[in-house]
Structure 1
């Protein structure tokens, strides 16, 4: 007789057979139902221009750092009048918040680049207009970015900047940015707590 089966008669009348049968059975506990937790979505808004109030989805705060509202306001208060004839490029774009704000303030075009230097080169090649370059790298306090500023300076020094009109560099306030990048002179610096803005013009 197959040990996996037992007759009803033997189960009730033969203790040894019943014991042997029960020992072979694998009793599995009931499966626990796991609750699916919804990931909280983060949003921000365009703060000025024709798309003011439009909601934008933000990536995880563990991987990106969104530009502070006061910093963003300063940038566009300075450049708003020039944006109509300019292309705005946001490097280290994250959610492309600054590029969206630039379009809302009538930039001719806006590009956001996230981890793809080739896209920036293509934007330069395709552009026949003066360009505003906005640099918003992760702060050097983040793991793996200790030399991020040196890499950016090296990148800019070896880049053809002929089509650029203005460079805006968002950085940690403890960082002293160079007075000159190629033929671009630092013309203004604004501080907002731990965040600062450096403006360069040719």
Structure 2
């Protein structure tokens, strides 16, 4: 596992010990960032169910200014901190050991807004829709923000989850990436803009 491009291109990352995490593959990660294009400088990122911190670190390598890493597993938190130390990104990161639901509530109560939110919860636990609902309820997505969800291809996510609108999805074998944007304004500019 490595950083694909940006200022830290080629940096090697470690994975948490054990079988509880399933890191996003380099192939899928590269596809995600090809779709997103240039990452806005100064953007804030939330990496939920962060595992190794692989995706959040990629955002930082490509120009994001801050990333919040959330995971409830002790080994994952250790790996995230080690990877941030290896890449010298610790000053641009906040790492919290917490379940996603509580972390989202905490961030919402602080009025923190994100330009990019990535979530890749454990498969077979049906966490995607409840997590997206919580994100919309707590209103932590910027008006022009994008949510990237990684999930099993057998799961078809709804077009709308509260005010979140599914803009696009791509399948890569057994993995699908779905993209949600802020559809609160319910007009053409908010729904038809390019990802």
Same fold, TM-score > 0.5, yes or no:
yes
Q: Give the conservation status (yes or no) of the 8 Å contact 1:156–1:181.
A: no
Q: Give the aligned partner of residue 151 of structure 2.
A: 171
Q: Work out the number of aligned pairs and report it.
A: 153
Q: Give the aligned partner of residue 138 of structure 1.
A: 122
Q: Give the conservation status (yes or no) of the 8 Å contact 2:121–2:127.
A: yes
Report how far residue 60 of structure 1 moved: 2.5
CA separation of 1:157 and 1:89: change in aligned 2, threshold 3 A: closer
Q: Give the aligned partner of residue 4 of structure 1.
A: none
Unaligned 5+ segments in structure 1 are: 1-43
Q: Give the aligned partner of residue 184 of structure 1.
A: 164
Give the distance between the partners of 2:155 and 2:40, measured in 1 at CA. 28
SS in 2 for 1:56: coil
Q: Give the conservation status (yes or no) of the 8 Å contact 1:169–1:197.
A: yes
Report how far residue 112 of structure 1 moved: 1.3
Report how far residue 126 of structure 1 moved: 5.9
Unaligned 5+ segments in structure 2 are: 73-97, 183-195
Q: TM-score, normalised by structure 1?
A: 0.68
* Aligned residue among 100, 118, 138 for 1:159: 138
Q: TM-score, normalised by structure 2?
A: 0.70
Give the distance between the partners of 2:5 and 2:18, measured in 1 at CA. 23
Higher RCO (CA < 8 A, seq sep 6+):
2
Give the distance between the partners of 2:69 and 2:167, measured in 1 at CA. 24
Q: Give the conservation status (yes or no) of the 8 Å contact 2:40–2:63.
A: yes
Please show how residues 1-202 of structure 1 align to structure 2 within 5 Å: 44-115=1-72, 116=98, 117=100, 118-124=102-108, 125=110, 127=112, 130-140=114-124, 145=125, 147-161=126-140, 163=142, 165-202=145-182
Q: Give the conservation status (yes or no) of the 8 Å contact 1:113–1:120.
A: no
Q: Which contiguous aligned blocks of 4+ residues in structure 1 show a shift greater than 6 angstroms?
A: none
Q: RMSD over aligned Cα, in angstroms? A: 2.1
